[in-house]
Amino acid sequence: MSTHQVFSNADACIINIGYTGEISVCGIIGYTGSMQVPSILTDGLTNLEYRGYDSSGVAIIDTSGDIVVRKSTGKLVELILSLQSDPIQGTTGIGHTRWATHGEPNHTNAHPHVDCSSSLTVVHNGIVENYRQIKDELLSQGHIFKSDTDSEVIPHLIETGLSDGLTLDKSIKNAAMKLRGAHAVVIMSKDNPNHIFAFKLGNAGGIVIGKTSDGMILASDLPAVMPYTHQVSYLEPGEL
């Protein structure tokens, strides 16, 4: 018997980017709704622990509308304890367990990563094969990078689209078009609260989107969304 139902892609606003890109694992989770998000993120990441990781992190839009990032190296329990001892209140957030490919597995390189003004934040599975070239271009435009990761080019690329006057979804699409390799990317912006954006290029882990009674949840794999819904849809390569 099937354990889940597939709902219409229209419910999740899935559109085709027009580029499918070109494998990689680790864990992604995102939720927006009416429930407090921190434990949804950490429970989801715990259910994805089987995939392996070296560090973890979450970004949450807090009650004043700011993006607050919390990271830890090592076991997820460190992140959970940090969120218990210094809680963040919010109902929209994203989380990640990282398997480092570019940059040491340390606090700075753990995801999520932010743009220059911490207005938007990104978690990423995969390898940006052309990150060096993109990073050099962004550095020459004055972008400030904090990490040694390939992933950090993504929030900065999206930021350039926004500063050129593009909408967030168009800026994300433009950024996606510039990335070589296989990717699963999830984006959250303080200027678009109550929304989570995700795109998939090639096969860098799945993105399953679930419709809950009060909002939406997405993750790399079913175990993270099953406690909240059995109504799911999967992103295909090339979809945002």
Judged by the rule CB under 6 A, the positions of this chain that interact with ligand GLU are 24, 26, 98-103, 124-127, 149-151
Q: Output the smallest distance, CB 125 to ligand GLU, in A.
A: 4
Nearer Cβ to ligand GLU (91/109): 109
Question: By three-state DSSP, how is residue 213 classified?
Answer: coil
Give phi and psi for 206, each to the nearest 5: -85, 170
Nearer Cβ to ligand GLU (125/229): 125
Q: Output the smallest distance, CB 186 to ligand GLU, in A.
A: 12
Nearer Cβ to ligand GLU (184/211): 184
Give the residue at shortest CB distance from ligand GLU: 26
Q: Output the smallest distance, CB 220 to ligand GLU, in A.
A: 10
Query: Do residues 204 and 96 lie in contact, with contact meaning Cβ atoms separated by under 8 Å?
Result: no
Q: Pick from 227, 180, 179, 240: which is nearest to 45 by CA? A: 227
Nearer Cβ to ligand GLU (92/125): 125
Nearer Cβ to ligand GLU (71/173): 71
Q: Output the smallest distance, CB 201 to ligand GLU, in A.
A: 13
Q: Output the smallest distance, CB 175 to ligand GLU, in A.
A: 15
Strand partners, 57: 71, 96
Q: Pick from 132, 183, 174, 180: which is nearest to 25 by CA? A: 183
Q: What burial class does residue 118 get, using C-beta atoms within 10 Å of its C-beta: 0-12 exposed, 13-18 middle, 19+ buried?
A: middle
Helix, strand and coil in the chain, % to nearest 5: 25, 25, 45
Give phi and psi for 13, each to the nearest 5: 55, 50
